[in-house]
Amino acid sequence: MALTKLDQLYRQVILDEATHPRHHGKLSQPTHTITVRNPSCGDVLTLDLQVVDGVIQAAAFAGSGCTISQASGSLMTDQIIGQTPATVSRMVETFSTLVIDGQAADEALLGDAAILRGVHQFPARIKCATLAWKAAAQALTEGAQHD
């Protein structure tokens, strides 16, 4: 089965994001931290956020997992920096809809992370793709907060 050029691009972007993730590591002074796990496959992700005056100033993730979860963490952290918690909440909902249905009404809100829409073709990978996004929502609402 030959891959279309779009499929090849999708795979290339996912591999690049997972191999060379942006915002990978830990923040020196996070205001919010959470660790989440995907019990289905063993992915583990710790997310640090620095929220100042109601805006996410910095984000970093660390952990281990499959290519999809690592690429999603990279794309997600890149997109949420500069956003308010309310906007991030909308982004998380939009992303979940996108990877479940393959389309979402407010898809432009996701920026480059919308490339992960192809995950909807692989239902077993949806939890991998949404792990970082759900971590962001949880960190902002219930994660450990640092002063």
Q: Give the CATH number of the domain where residue 76 resides.
A: 3.90.1010.10
Which residues have a Cβ under 8 Å from the Cβ of 51 and sit 6 or more positions away? 31, 32, 57, 85, 140
45-60 pLDDT tens trace: 999 999 999 999 999 9
7-56 pLDDT tens trace: 666 677 777 777 777 889 999 999 999 999 988 888 999 999 999 999 99
- How many domains are there within the chain? 1
pLDDT of residue 35: 95
| Mean pLDDT of all residues in 73-86 | 96
Residue 145's region, left for phi above 0, alpha for psi from -120 to 50, else beta, is beta
CA dihedral angle for residue 117, residue 72, residue 23, residue 19, rounded to 10 degrees: -100
Instruction: Name the one residue in this structure whose structure tokens are 């690592």.
Output: 70
Domain that residue 76 falls in: 5-145
